Structure 1
Amino acid sequence: MKKARAILIAGPTASGKSALALELAERLNGVIVNADSMQVYEELSIVTARPDETDMVRVPHRLYGCVPARTAYSTGDWLRAVTREIKTVTGEGRLPILVGGTGLYFKALTEGLAQIPDIDPEVRAACRDFAEKAGVEGVRAALTGVDPEAANGLQDLQRLTRALEVVRGTGRPLVEWQKQAQAEAVLPQADTARLVLAPPRPWLHERIGERAGLILRPGGLAEVEELLKQDLPASLPAMRAIGVKEARDLLTGEASFAEAAERLTVATRQYAKRQETWFRNQMGNWPRIDVAKNSSEALALEFLGDFERRYL
């Protein structure tokens, strides 16, 4: 019987991933490791629904709030950091439990990541400055003649900007690098126990609405206010975290509470839908669990029964 080296828990925002991870970590001598691209930023705790101090006391957590918002943290950065954390946690005789909603992180972890050379800092800075001024469509237009596949296939400003950095910094489009042999996977799927939380949409939408209300309360607003004081470029990933714009509009009077809450709810629902699409298309062989049927404790016990039969 092969022993699992880690448990991987993916799912859309507000689906209850953290609660399930806590239950499993307590029962399996586990350490929870972040696999969410927004929860790495130290300034964004409430906005990104990062585990709170009570959760941190229950079991150890790693790679949460570990990067300043001024950093453009990439998938490669996370992969290097998580590789170190998995080695450390395993060396302590504990089980890594990776939790998050960033599908690309899980894909890189279990399938490997294309080895793209480091981009000259001046090229990166120039591309990010251009992106901040030109926006999504401006970057898309700049890519059309040099990397049409990225221009047509990517929708997110961060990824479009990354494609522009790569083609300008290496002279080759991103897709060519991605087709090359990838680095060996840190955690091949066969070495892991995996699951995707797949709640019914009405249940998820209700929880998303509740979370929107929390972000726009005094704690979340104060968090965004402090972030805005740094006067960071709008192109940075942290500045595009869902909730930052909506909270800013409420703070400046550009939106009422009801308007900001509605915009935030809609944006979060759209993001959850994109996450679910990624999980279906890119992680279709991962077991799926309907988390609306039982409590996190009951789900943990159900998962543990199968985990023990397979891996212990």
Structure 2
Amino acid sequence: MRQALIIAGPTCSGKSALALALAERLGGTVINADAMQCYRELRVLTARPTPEEEARAPHALYGVLPASVVGSVAWWRAAALEAMEGASLPILCGGTGMYLRALTQGLSALPDVTPAARAEARALLAELGPEALHARLNAEDAALIRPSDSQRIARAHEVWLSTGRSLAHWQRAAPLLPPAPYAFRAILLDPPRAELRAAIAARWQAMLTGGAREEVATLLAQGLDPALPAMRAHGVPELAALLRGEITGDEASRRAIANTGAYTRRQATWFRHQPLMAARHVPFAAPQRAHIINARFASLAQFSESEQAKIFAFLREGVDGAIPPP
């Protein structure tokens, strides 16, 4: 079974830096597993790797979708498998847990929805808002989806309109796309909350200096549906409100930093409860192992030689030389 690495963790924990360092050392390809970094219009606000970083090692699935498109879990899974097939060592890097779970645990093959159903669901979401549309869901879907999760609410509604059955029904009944045929090793970055909060604030200021406001202005000029995922990326709603004159710059920054911090808390909780991430060096039924680093990653040189040795020993473990020594 081929080897693949996963670098996971909350936003701003240093995943991209670690993935790039490992790709350079191990001859790997960094494959994006972050839903927002798929969108080409959002390089600054999603902290996508820079052109200089992308030149240091092969990268895949960064900036490949227009903001007008909804990048589904099923789409990403298929694209990631294709990218992995062409990589000597795939290094999946990102914080979108549903993407990684679809790869490591499989995915229900849900039915296609009709364009009319999709348009109606998105129109209702824009007209009513997520909480009111959530109230219209059947009991099964309503129990599984948060009232604030507008994307999943719209998805459930469009599946119902297309098929007459709930999303929960199809998730139970649809055949499962199997886990990817790889032996996964995962490194979870789980830095202390205070360290992560400081990094989020620093990154936001760097984004503003780097053109985030101009990036959002260009995005708004497309006149896209505000319910689209790209329009709800961290920082987009806040800077959009600033550009419309609804809030001040200080308020936009306060909201963006607070909302990103709340999201990282949900990410960290989610990852801690996934089988692949649940414990250090504990094998599971599938050939998957996890190594947890309780620090924010800035560069490989940040760690002592002994910590670096632990990381590479963990990655080499059980793969018969597929990963060379550091």
TM-score over 0.5 (shorter chain)? yes
2:312 maps to a residue whose letter is L
Q: 1:185 to 1:214 in 2, by over 3 A?
A: same
Q: 1:289 to 1:228 in 2, by over 3 A?
A: same
Q: 1:300 to 1:8 in 2, by over 3 A?
A: farther
C-alpha separation in 2, matches of 1:238 and 1:105: 16
Structure 2: 5+ residue stretches without partners = 280-289, 322-326
Tell me which stretches of 4 or more aligned residues in structure 1 moved more than 4 Å.
Answer: none
Percent identity over the alignment is 41
SS at match of 1:138: helix
Tell me which residue corresponds to 1:172. 165
SS at match of 1:5: strand
Q: CA deviation at 1:253?
A: 2.7
**Is the contact between residue 16 and residue 291 of structure 1 (CA under 8 Å) also seen in structure 2?**
no
Tell me which residue corresponds to 2:205. 213
Q: CA deviation at 1:209?
A: 0.6
Question: Which deviates the most, 250-259 or 35-44?
Answer: 250-259
C-alpha separation in 2, matches of 1:229 and 1:12: 30
* 1:180-211 superposed Cα distances (whole Å, 9 cap, x missing partner): 341111245xx111121110100001001111
Tell me which residue corresponds to 1:6. 4
C-alpha separation in 1, matches of 2:297 and 2:222: 43
**Is the contact between residue 250 and residue 257 of structure 1 (CA under 8 Å) also seen in structure 2?**
yes
Tell me which residue corresponds to 1:56. 54
C-alpha separation in 2, matches of 1:68 and 1:131: 21
Q: CA deviation at 1:294?
A: 8.0
Q: How does 1:265-276 map to 2 (within 5 A)?
A: 265-276=257-268
Question: Which deviates the most, 43-52 or 245-254?
Answer: 245-254
2:161 is the alignment partner of 1:153: no
Q: 1:138 to 1:291 in 2, by over 3 A?
A: same
C-alpha separation in 1, matches of 2:297 and 2:68: 40
Tell me which residue corresponds to 1:303. 311
Q: CA deviation at 1:309?
A: 3.6
How many correspondences in the alignment? 301
Question: Which deviates the most, 301-310 or 57-66?
Answer: 301-310
CA RMSD in angstroms, aligned pairs only: 1.7
**Is the contact between residue 109 and residue 187 of structure 1 (CA under 8 Å) also seen in structure 2?**
no
Q: How does 1:80-229 map to 2 (within 5 A)?
A: 80-89=78-87, 94-143=88-137, 147-155=138-146, 156-180=149-173, 181-187=175-181, 191-217=183-209, 219-229=211-221
Q: CA deviation at 1:137?
A: 1.1
2:239 to 240, 247, 259: 247
Q: CA deviation at 1:16?
A: 0.2
C-alpha separation in 1, matches of 2:308 and 2:19: 8
Per the normalisation by structure 1, the TM-score is 0.91
C-alpha separation in 1, matches of 2:210 and 2:103: 37
Structure 1: 5+ residue stretches without partners = none
Q: CA deviation at 1:152?
A: 3.0
Tell me which residue corresponds to 1:23. 21
